[in-house]
Amino acid sequence: MEIIIVLLPLALLLGATFVGAFIWSARKGQYDDLETPKFRMLLEDKQLKTRKDGK
């Protein structure tokens, strides 16, 4: 059972990492719009062929 001394902190650390990641992503606004991004990722990131202003 001594292995628990190692496993327990490991498990806690792993959990804490994921909670931390979740809080970070929520604060960054990852979940603000749950509808649009799922479509956005389907679109290609191509530049337009012709550009009027030439920039």
Partner 1 sequence: MEVCVHCDEAAVPPIYQKDDVTLAKPFCCEGCLTVYHVLHQKGLESYYEIKNNSSIFKRRSPVEIKSSQFSFLDDDEFIKEYTYLNATGARTMEFYLEGIHCLACLWLIEKLPEFVPGVVSSKLDLDRSVVTVIIEGEGKFSQVAREFNQLGYRPHPLKRNQDAADLRVKEERLALTRIGVAGAAAGNIMIYAVSLYGGAAGEFAQLFNSLTVAFAVPVLTFCSYPFYQNAWNALRNKTLSIDIPISISLLIGAVMGVYNLILGIPDNYFDSLTTLVFLLLMSRYFLQKIQEKGLSASDLHFFYQSESVLRATDSSLNEFIEVHPRFVKAEDVLKIRPGEFFPADGVVLKGTSNLNNSLLTGESFPVKVEAGDKVFSGTQNLTHDLVMKAVNASDSSRLGQLLKNVENGWAHRSKIVNLTNIVSKYFTLAVFILSTILFIYLYQTHDLKHALEGAITLLIVTCPCALALAVPLTFTRALSKASEQGIIIKSDEVIEKLAKVRNVFIDKTGTITYGKLKVTNFKVIRESKLRVQDIILNLEGRTRHPVARALLDHIKDQHAQALPVEDFKEVLGVGVSGTIERSFYEIRKAGIFENGELVCTFDVQDTVRSDSQDALKKLSQLGIEVTMLSGDKKEVVQSIARDVALPLENALHELSPEDKSRLIKNASHSMMIGDGANDAIALSHAEVGVAVMGAMDISLRAADVYLTTPGLIPVEKLVVLSQETMKVIRRNLVLSLLYNSVSVACAFLGIINPLIAAIIMPVSSLTILFSTLVRTTKSRNLWKS
- What residue ranges bind partner 1 (CB under 8 A)? 1, 4, 8, 11-12, 15, 18-19, 22-23, 26-27, 29, 31-33, 35-36, 39-40, 42-43, 46-53, 55
Q: How far is the CB of 33 from partner 1 (least distance, A)?
A: 6
- State the minimum distance, in angstroms, from the CB of residue 49 to partner 1: 4
Please state, in angstroms and rounded to a whole number, the distance separating the CA atoms of residues 22 and 24: 5
Cβ neighbors of 25 (< 8 A, separation 6 or more) are 31
Residue 45, exposed/middle/buried by CB under 10 A (0-12, 13-18, 19+)?
exposed
With respect to partner 1, which residue has the nearer C-beta, 6 or 47? 47
